[in-house]
Amino acid sequence: MEDKQRELGGKEKEEEHAKVEIWKYVFGFVKVAVVKCAIELGIADAIESHGSPMTLLELSSALRCDPSPLHRIMRVLVHLKIFKEKPATQLGPKVYAQTPLSKRLLKSGQNSMAALILLESSPVMLAPWHGLSARIQGNIRNPVFEEVHGEDLWSFGAANPDHNKLFNEAMACDARVNVPAVIESCLEVFKGIETVVDVGGGDGSTMRLLVEACPWIQGINFDLPHVVSLAQECDRIENVGGDMFDCVPKADAVIIKGVLHDWGDDECIRILKKCREAIPEDKGKVIIIEAVIDEKDEKGDIKLTNVRLMLDMVMMAHTNTGKERTLKEWGYVLGEAGFSRHTITPIDAVPSVIQAFP
């Protein structure tokens, strides 16, 4: 009897939870739209350059916009705890203040994630999501990005300089978050290495952070020619354009971050073989910075597991064959590419550090 009642109570609670929870999905896109709007208006930037919290009128005048809709946007951003509202006092009206989260909406700076948010919420990147079910049902001939845009992500970038620029700035956001986490947890990985080539290194952000932290390293930033053409010149870094399916420049070690997940197993094995050819057989290594999907969630870091699973969906929407891999799937591609052994080190970030030895 008691068990039955407990079961009924549990079901009622689940019902209650579902009644509220479902609205998250009905209006899930609104959060993204509002945050995108905040970045485009430059709300965080305005408060930052003002140097202290701002009233609605100060903010609307700095942003040159109508206070009434701005108030409604701020109301929801405060509700989402992106900005803080400090209540009105006798001395003055209420003010809006930054939080650690709103500082990530700044257009530049160490913690800025603005470009990544703008990329993922751009019409180019949003359009393929509408084809996800068709892809899963096999109702479209091409991968979804290609179906919508007529070419894959990389050719699209080559033909659309604005998209190329935004894409590389977005990847730089990821590098600013994840490369320091790699260096903090695994500095010893880079000891004794004189030269490193970053395969698919984008605008060179990863390599810049690496040579800064490891002054003994000379780096090569290697990517497609239209991508390295945007990379900054930097001491101890050579920017080299090319195709990783043809040849990878030689170095003591390869670093390859957020690249292999863009490709299916066959391409991944081809890229890894080229990386292996680039390093010395006896003391070389390939350092892979990628997510590892923990299907049983044994580490219990549920929040990062969510991000890794979301990233896997991003691969499905935006790449032809890409996917996030489990431990077993990483073992398979590394073995097929001819590596004799590998180690996987989880770090306090979305990706892990995988070292593969010839």
Contact residues toward ligand SAM (CB under 6 A) are: 154, 171, 174-175, 200-202, 206, 223-224, 227, 243-245, 257-259, 262
Report helix, strand or coil for 144.
helix
Which residues are CB-neighbours of 250 under 8 A, at least 6 positions away? 197, 278, 279
45 or 198: CB nearest ligand SAM: 198
**Whole-angstrom Cα distance, residue 46 to residue 54?**
9
CB atoms within 10 A of CB 227: 24
What DSSP string runs through 298-313? TT--HHHHHHHHHHHH
How far is 201 from 339, CA to CA, in rounded Å?
A: 22
Cα(246)–Cα(270) distance, rounded to whole angstroms?
9
How near is the Cβ of 327 to ligand SAM at its closest, in Å? 21
- Taking the least distance from each CB to ligand SAM, the nearer of 223 and 252 is 223
Nearer CB in complex with ligand SAM: 31/165: 165
Residue 8 CB, nearest distance to ligand SAM (Å)?
A: 49
Q: Can you read off the two tokens belonging to residue 114?
A: 């603005």
d(CA 307, CA 335): 27
Whichever of 216 and 245 has its CB closer to ligand SAM, that residue is: 245
From the CB of 193, what's the least distance to ligand SAM, in Å? 18
Q: Which residues pair with 199 in a beta bridge?
A: 222
Which residue number is nearest to ligand SAM in terms of Cβ?
A: 200
Annotated catalytic residue, options 17, 71, 163, 261? 261
Q: How far is the CB of 258 from ligand SAM (least distance, A)?
A: 3
Q: Backbone phi, then psi, for 357, in 5-degree steps?
A: -115, 140
Shortest gap between Cβ of 172 and ligand SAM (angstroms)? Answer: 7
**Where does residue 266 rank: exposed (0-12), middle (13-18), buried (19+ CB within 10 A)?**
exposed
For residue 42, the one-letter residue type is G
Rounded Cα gap, residues 180 and 175, in angstroms: 8
Smallest gap from residue 33 Cβ to ligand SAM (A)? 24
Please indicate whether residue 318 is annotated as part of the active site. Answer: no
Active site residues: 261
